Structure 1
Amino acid sequence: MTQRYGAGIWHFATYVDRYATDGYGEPRTILDAIALAGQVPDLSVVDLNYPFFGGDFSNEQIGAGLEQAGLDVIGITPEIYTRVFAKGSFTNPDPGVRRLAHELCTEAAGVVRHFGADYVKLWPGQDGWDYPFQVDHGALWKNSLDGVGQLAQENPDLKFVIEYKPREPRVHMSFDSVARTLLGIEKIGLPNVGILLDFGHALFGGESPADAAQLAIDYGRLFGMDVNDNLRGWDDDMIAGSVHPIELFEFFHVLRRNGWEGVWQLDQFPFREDSVQAATWAIDFLKRVERGLDRLDMDALAQAQARHDAVAAGRIAQDALFGVD
């Protein structure tokens, strides 16, 4: 099987932050971003924000842009984290806003069907709390699960993936870790709800990404993944492999050992870098990871791990990843 590589289309957008409020480049539409994504060698699929940014575009217009760029769609990410959802999407205290979030996700489900994508990706970044005593934790968690569960029940033909993260924009997000997200999914109890595991979110949350992946796989809930990098103190969304190459290698080792097959996807925010070059560098490194996995002495590694021999296991992994291609 030939490994497929993907990226969130936001990788090719331009960004603002609270300092450079005028942005780090000229604004781009989603069609501009799709055209740039098409310039990246080996990139074959993209995750699209919904509503489509930069203009009023139809599915047909987006489809034409994708065809010209030679790209398919893996997922649709409804923007349930914008200003109207400042106090939450599924957990908003206003039932009208909760309905709005449901309607937006339902529209996104229709877009998934239109493009034959794999899933609706749910990143409820505003769901959570900021201060002690701000929320009734039981009610908040129930609303989180009810919101996802209703969507999954109404759309049994589609997959819904939850991308967890410890914090930002909320000080504490409702789906904050692999364990808590798995507990919620098991409580929902539907087969079409799973996890999209973001490598950088696991790092940021103090998890081992490899261990988080194994846990999600053990429960049959790893439906998707994406990679980036950070310095562990924040969700920096840096270029994959630029800071934690060995942990990234272990993460993909766990995926291969368990027979997990899916797109290796980038979730990067190259604020100051050329977006095409940043994606190309990341995918080139992921291809090195592939070759390293092919070289990895699995029997010797299993023996070292059975002894909990960190030195031997580390040498085996380093030789495989950094050996001469």
Structure 2
Amino acid sequence: MDIRPRLREQRIETPSWAYGNSGTRFKVFAQPGVPRDPYEKLADAAQVHRFTGIAPSVALHIPWDKVDDYAGLRRHADGLGLSIGAINANVFQDDDYKLGSVTNPDPRVRRKALDHLLECVDIMDATGSDTLKLWFSDGTNYPGQDDIRARQDRLAEALESVYARLGEGQRFLLEYKLFEPAFYTTDVPDWGTAYAHCVKLGPKAQVVVDTGHHAPGTNIEFIVAFLLREGKLGGFDFNSRFYADDDLMVGAADPFQLFRIMYEVAEEPGIAFMLDQCHNLEPKIPGQIRSVMNVQEATAKALLVDKNALKSAQAVGDILAAHAVLMDAYNTDVRPLLADLRQEAGLDPDPMAAYARSGYFQEISAARVGGAQAGWGA
């Protein structure tokens, strides 16, 4: 089978925040050459696309990427061969949100949070983005702290208002997270909660799966398969984790899990593949390049699965034969194939080495002196 046409069509969105400084709860580690504003973040993202050929869009995080002229930011992206991807709202980094944002018991705070979400739709209009990504840190730390059902009512009311504001061709993706920073209840803790709200709202509301937001041992590919069946899988935030929401490079901790997920979704149209990672120690741009390559490799292996052989084995209950079909694809070295595809597209077959030779890191390290570096929360 020739999987090259599908691989040529693949697109992976990189996040603006991955190019800024990040760290743990204890320390943010500064690196040389880190962007000082959204324009420089886009310039770095253009390097990832330049060497991989499949990362032409960049997700923004508001207010981290707030500018006075979003149409101008869009033109800047266009000039770099990029487009603006998902707009990510931020209703978790304000003192008013201590007890929640859209689920806060205080109507004033809920209004403030909703106004920000609606502002993000305005930014979508100005930048040409078709996707709003919503993640809420809302929840409680102690039994009795707030009314659990009332918080779900407040959440539903806010989502209805945002949904009504969406324009033609726009959608929002609702993200879920098992825990953190709320440790007793989280208002959107799992895919079922996100799914229930999205079903009630309609086709413009879909679920986004962050691969790090699950309990250890969770079968993420089952969640993916179920949401696909229901038409409610909107996209992924790809990263990797050993313990909780580690935000490591996708495929770093469990590449076989990434392969299993991609097997379920690789040939489905309309699914957004987005990275959501923090490169705390490793260099930012190479970290994104490597992550894009990891998704590419998992996708290529998933597309190599002999589905006819797999279905035949499944139909007669031949467990070992069915498992062998998957393992044969997973154990295939697809790197030569991807190198050939890059050469066909006029790219260097080794993106990591090509970036290292480009001198871009040395250039930005020398040029980006002065001003505040972008970072987590910037």
Asked if 1:195 corresponds to 2:207, the answer is: yes
Deviations 1:241-277 (A, max 9, x none): 11111111111111135x3333322111111111111
Q: Which amino acid is 1:6 matched to?
A: E
* Residue equivalent to 1:211: 222
Counterpart of 1:224 (choices 214, 225, 235) is 235
Residue 37 of structure 1 contacts residue 69 of structure 1 at CA under 8 Å; is this kept in 2? no
How much has 1:305 moved relative to structure 2? 4.0
In structure 2, the CA distance between the partners of 1:247 and 1:178, relative to structure 1 (3 Å rule), is same
What residue identity is the alignment partner of 2:87?
I
Where do 1:110-259 residues align within 5 Å? 110-125=122-137, 127-155=138-166, 157=168, 158-171=170-183, 172-186=185-199, 188-202=200-214, 204=215, 206-231=217-242, 233-256=243-266, 259=268
Give the 3-state SS of the residue equivalent to 1:105 in structure 2.
helix
Q: Which runs of 5+ in 2 are unaligned?
A: 1-5, 335-378
Paired AA for residue 281 in structure 2: R
Structure 1 residues 261 and 193, CA gap change in structure 2 (3 angstroms): closer
| Alpha-carbon distance in 1 for matches of 2:272, 2:198 | 22
Separation (CA, whole Å) in 1 of partners of 2:306 and 2:189:
35
The alpha-carbon deviation at position 140 of structure 1 amounts to 0.8
Whether 2:22 is the aligned partner of 1:9: answer no
Q: How far does residue 306 in structure 1 lie from its aligned partner after superposition?
A: 4.5
> Alignment partner of 1:36: what SS?
helix
The SS at the match of 2:208 is strand
Correspondence for 1:284: 293
Cα pair 1:76 1:117 within 8 Å, conserved: yes
Normalising by structure 1, we get a TM-score of: 0.90
| Offset from partner CA, 1:33-65 (integer Å, 9 cap, x none) | 221111113311111011244x74421342243
Matched, 1:35 2:43: yes
Greater shift in the superposed pair: 101-110 or 57-66: 57-66
Q: CA deviation at 1:196?
A: 1.3
Please state how far the C-alpha of 1:214 moved relative to its aligned partner. Answer: 1.4
2:35 pairs with 1:25? no
Partner of 2:58: 46
The structure 1 residue matched to 2:329, chosen from 312, 320, 323, is 320
Name stretches of at least 5 consecutive residues in structure 1 with no aligned partner.
none
SS at match of 2:253: coil
SS in 1 for 2:252: coil
The root-mean-square deviation of aligned C-alpha atoms, in Å, is: 2.1
Q: Distance in 1 between matches of 2:202 and 2:303?
A: 36
Q: Which amino acid aligns with 2:224?
A: A
Contact 1:149 1:190 in 2 (8 A): no
Aligned mates of 2:255, 2:241 — CA distance in 1: 11
Query: Given residue 113 of structure 2, which amino acid in structure 1 is its aligned partner?
Result: A
Distance 1:221 1:48, change over 3 A: same
Partners of 2:104 and 2:10 in 1: how far apart? 40
Identity of aligned residues (%): 24
- Number of aligned residues: 318
Cα distance per residue 1:212-251 (max 9 Å; x no partner)? 11121222211222211101x2100111111111111111
Label 1:206 to 1:156 Cα distance change in 2 as closer, same or farther (>3 A).
farther
Higher relative contact order (CA 8 A, sep 6+): 2
Q: How far apart, in 2, do the equivalents of 1:116 and 1:145 lie?
A: 26
| Residue of 101, 106, 124 corresponding to 2:118 | 106
For the 8 Å contact 1:5–1:44, the answer to whether it is kept is yes
Please say which of residues 76-85 and 102-111 is displaced more in the overlay.
76-85
Q: Which amino acid aligns with 1:65?
A: H
> Which residue identity does 1:9 align to in structure 2?
S
Q: 1:91 Cα deviation (Å)?
A: 0.4
